[in-house]
Amino acid sequence: MKRMLVFSAHAADFVWRAGGAIASVCAQGGQARVVALSYGERGESGELWKDPKQTIERVKAIRHAEATRAAQALGASFECLDLGDYPLRVNDKAVERLIEIIVETAPDLLLTHAEKDPFNPDHPVTYQAVEKARQLATGAGVASAFRTVRPPELLLFEPHQPELCGFVPTLFLDITPVWEKKQKAMEAFASQGYLRQYYSERAAHRANHARRIAGHKNIERAEAFQRVLPQVVRSL
| Contact between 41 and 59 (Cβ < 8 Å) | yes
pLDDT-derived band at 144, boundaries 50, 70, 90? low
Single out the residue of 75, 69, 97, 72 nearest to residue 7, CA to CA.
Answer: 97
- Of the two residues 191 and 68, the one the predictor is more confident about is 68
Instruction: Domain ranges for the chain, please list them.
Output: 3-227
Q: Is the pTM of this model over 0.85?
A: yes
Q: Is the pLDDT of residue 146 over 90?
A: no
Q: What pLDDT digit, counting tens, does each position of 5-29 carry? A: 999 999 999 999 999 999 999 999 9
Class of domain 3-227: alpha beta
pLDDT-derived band at 147, boundaries 50, 70, 90? confident
Q: What pLDDT digit, counting tens, does each position of 82-115 carry? A: 999 999 999 999 999 999 999 999 999 999 999 9
Contacts of 166 (CB under 8 A, 6+ apart): 114, 115, 116
pLDDT-derived band at 133, boundaries 50, 70, 90? very high
Contacts of 171 (CB under 8 A, 6+ apart): 155, 224, 225, 226, 227
| Residue 85 DSSP class | S
Q: What pLDDT digit, counting tens, does each position of 49-79 carry? A: 999 999 999 999 999 999 999 999 999 999 9
Mean pLDDT calculated for residue range 147-164: 95
The chain-wide mean pLDDT, for the chain, equals 95
